[in-house]
Amino acid sequence: MNFDLTEEHKMLKEMAYKFAQAEIAPIAYDCDKEEKYTPEVRKKAAENGLVGAWIPEEYGGAGVGILGNTIITEELSRVDMGIGLNIVAASFGCEAIYFFGSEEQKKKYLTPVCRGEWVAAGAFTEPNAGTDVSGYRTRAAKDGKDFVINGNKMFITNGSVCDFMVAQCISLPDQKRHASFSQIIVPADAKGIIRNKLHGKMGIRSSDTAEITFEDVRVPQENLVGKEGRGFYQLMHFFDITRIMVSGQAIGLSQACLDTAIKYSKERTAFGAPLGSYQLTMAKLTDMAIRVEALRTLVYKAAWLVDAKKPDYTLAAMGKYLGGQTAVFCANAAVEIHGGYGYMDEYAVQKWYRDAKILELYEGTKEAEIMTIGRVLQSK
């Protein structure tokens, strides 16, 4: 059993972090404050092979696999999770196309995303259905050679900036609930689409999030991804993959909190001694370090297993659950170690505190992960 990263992964890790320090760090504060999306950074990242990096080279990606993509996500998130998300989530929805789409669809949609020319989105969550994905109500009715789509989507990453989206729709309403769904590629400029950027998020404010309305949106039936009626199962597979990416975000943010807290505890003095010399501070730092190390090992294993074609999606759910918990714990501890300064926006820890909470909410809430893991345990 070898826990060492390959030389390729080590170089990828170093390159991604250097890119983040050079291109993301200088603008992170302003982009968070102004809720500013960053297409220019995404395009530079694409030039360095950081967009859609998990996608094989034949479709324009860097071919670094899920583990490589997790490492990229981790290193970008060490600097800024929101701008990092603009890079690694530019390919959101492409997972469905790669694993279930036709060869023509893969060449048409994946390559421009990897080049930084297009942005994808996964139009899944609805205003009244989040974790309960079987409760989605958006309909895709057949009319001649087209689908006509009506419905609403909410909290869609890249929703107002994407060039196309993979939309989860009911296309077979007479079938049982799980067999009624299909996934359909919808051009973002199609007639009848209304996109409203959401403002006022607590964290990841530079990442674009939108509400999308479909009003008699017509797309050709050839835009169906995979088989009709298999959309629910394709979506579950999507989450199994993207949860690992979200866990990578958690590693990066948690590591940033730990690094910054250690640095501050050495510089700040209290009662005539460095803050880090006190046992209570040591206890917090130690707890942070242990959780980060445990999380990284768990998530890297889950990613490696996918690349080895031996996926363990229960492990991916565990990584997502632990990731959210670790990030929230580490962000809270970092703020506490900084004391009053941790509450001020001149210190990054307050931003990381705001960013961390989303890791317990999107790509499956922590409660949803408990249900997923618990069902598997009960089945043994």
Separation of alpha carbons 182 and 74, rounded Å: 32
Q: Which residues of 172-211 are buried (b: 16+ CB within 10 A; e: fewer)?
A: beeeeeeebbbbbbbebeeeebebeeeeebebbbbbbbbb
CB of 67 closer than 8 Å to CB of 304: yes
Strand, coil or helix: 1: coil
- Reduced to 3 states (helix: H, G, I; strand: E, B; else coil), residue 265 is helix
Q: Is 35 a catalytic residue?
A: no
- What sign results for the dihedral spanned by CA atoms 302, 308, 312, 313? positive
Alpha-carbon distance of 84 to 70, in angstroms, equals 12
Q: Contact, 12 vs 18, CB < 8 A? A: no
Which is the catalytic residue, given 35, 74, 211, 363?
A: 363
Residues catalogued as catalytic? 363
